[in-house]
């Protein structure tokens, strides 16, 4: 799969689903055996997987937030497809709105491995390097 539109749509569906607390759609963007990992400001790598563990992380994070998050994806690079796995990178700009004030919370770089599962692209690996904690 190297269809740039499908890859971009997957990243945007993930972000919009998180921002709107649409857990059903959020779950649908990951393979069952997916891994999600983060490095925050050069710290230790934290990993979650499979999909059930990722969804627990996501629902716990959503329930603890008091602001409205907005994930902005940009600068998508499709690095290529090999053996049915498409590798990508893109920027994240993370904003939050609380009490009528919009704040830049962090920025970072997503790296992913995307596979076709049941005719739909899904993240098998999603990694986020954040520039600072939020």
pLDDT of residue 2: 55
Domains of the chain, by residue range, sit at: 4-130
- Structure tokens of 15? 């972000």
Contacts of 53 (CB under 8 A, 6+ apart): none
For residue 3, name the pLDDT band (cuts at 50, 70, 90).
Answer: confident
Residues 63-82: pLDDT tens digits?
A: 999 999 999 999 999 999 99
In this prediction the pTM is 0.94
CATH fold group of domain 4-130: Nuclear Transport Factor 2; Chain: A, (3.10.450)
φ, ψ (nearest 5 deg) of residue 19 = -65, -25
pLDDT of residue 46: 97
pLDDT of residue 131: 97
% of the chain beyond a pLDDT of 70: 99
Q: Is 24's pLDDT higher than 70?
A: yes
Please give the average per-residue pLDDT across 39-67, as a whole number.
97
- Structure tokens of 112? 């992913």
């Amino acid at each position: 799969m190297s269809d740039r539109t499908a890859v971009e749509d997957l990243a945007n569906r993930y972000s919009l689903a998180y921002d709107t607390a649409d857990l059903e759609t959020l779950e649908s963007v990951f393979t069952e055996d997916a891994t999600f990992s983060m490095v925050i400001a050069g710290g230790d790598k934290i990993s979650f997987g499979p999909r059930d563990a990722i969804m627990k992380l996501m629902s716990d994070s959503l329930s603890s937030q008091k602001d409205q998050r907005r994930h902005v994806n940009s600068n998508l690079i499709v690095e290529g497809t090999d053996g049915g796995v498409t590798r990508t990178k893109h920027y994240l700009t993370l904003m939050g709105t609380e009490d009528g004030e919009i704040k830049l919370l962090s920025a970072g770089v997503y790296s992913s491995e995307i596979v076709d599962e049941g005719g739909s692209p899904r993240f098998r690996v999603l990694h986020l390097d954040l520039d600072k904690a939020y």
